[in-house]
């Protein structure tokens, strides 16, 4: 009986330990993680200004559904990252490509805390944690 109890106990422990990953949820720190990897085109672990610009152009084109060269309020609401919302510099309710490029350039400068002209994943995550107050 003792051996059966010990076997049962060990079996339960193994099942519980192996199932921890099933219940563990990764905490989404905002627009980091996979978003960072999408922006890091060459997969070197950092984002350059040109990679940020390429990402901005791609996102702008995706959001500009009617292809009129501007993102209106309806289109901008589809931007779950909220990265384009602050870009409406003239407050006319639309974001032009130039406004978006300027805003993303500003994002890059703010993220690059050590001024090495690269944004590490830590810098990227820290920036968004500050924005979203995690």
How many distinct structural domains can be found in the chain? 1
Average pLDDT, the chain: 78
Tell me if 88 is assigned to some domain: yes
Instruction: Name residue, tokens 């993102």.
Output: 71
User: Of 20-24, 73-77, 108-112, 127-131, which has the strongest mean pLDDT?
Assistant: 108-112
Whether 20 is covered by a domain: the verdict is no
Task: Summarize the confidence of residues 118-133 as an average pLDDT.
Answer: 86
Residues of the chain with pLDDT > 90, as a percent, come to 41
Phi, psi of 31 (to 5 degrees): -80, 30
The larger pLDDT score, comparing residue 109 to residue 10, is at 109
Q: Would you say residue 55 lies in a domain?
A: yes
Cα 72 to Cα 17, 88, 113, 125, 133, distances in angstroms: 50, 10, 32, 28, 27
| Mean pLDDT value across residues 112-125 | 95
Q: What is the pLDDT of residue 87?
A: 85
pTM over 0.75: no
Q: Pull the structure tokens for residue 15.
A: 């099942």
Whole domain around residue 53: which residue ranges?
48-134
Supply the CATH number for residue 63's domain.
Answer: 1.10.238
Kindly report, residue by residue over 12-58, the tens digit of the pLDDT. Answer: 544 444 444 333 333 344 444 578 999 999 999 999 999 999 999 99
């Amino acid at each position: 009986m003792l051996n059966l109890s010990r076997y049962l106990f060990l079996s339960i422990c193994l099942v519980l330990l192996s199932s921890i990953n099933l219940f563990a949820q990764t905490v989404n720190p905002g627009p980091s993680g996979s978003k960072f990897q999408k922006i890091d085109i060459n997969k070197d672990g950092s984002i350059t200004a040109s990679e940020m610009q390429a990402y901005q152009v791609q996102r702008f084109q995706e959001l500009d559904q009617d292809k009129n060269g501007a993102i209106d309020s309806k289109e901008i609401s589809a931007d779950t990252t909220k990265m384009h919302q602050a870009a409406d510099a003239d407050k006319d309710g639309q974001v032009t490509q130039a406004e978006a490029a300027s805003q993303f350039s500003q994002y890059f400068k703010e993220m690059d805390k050590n001024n090495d002209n690269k944004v590490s994943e830590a810098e990227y995550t820290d920036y968004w944690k500050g924005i979203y107050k995690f």
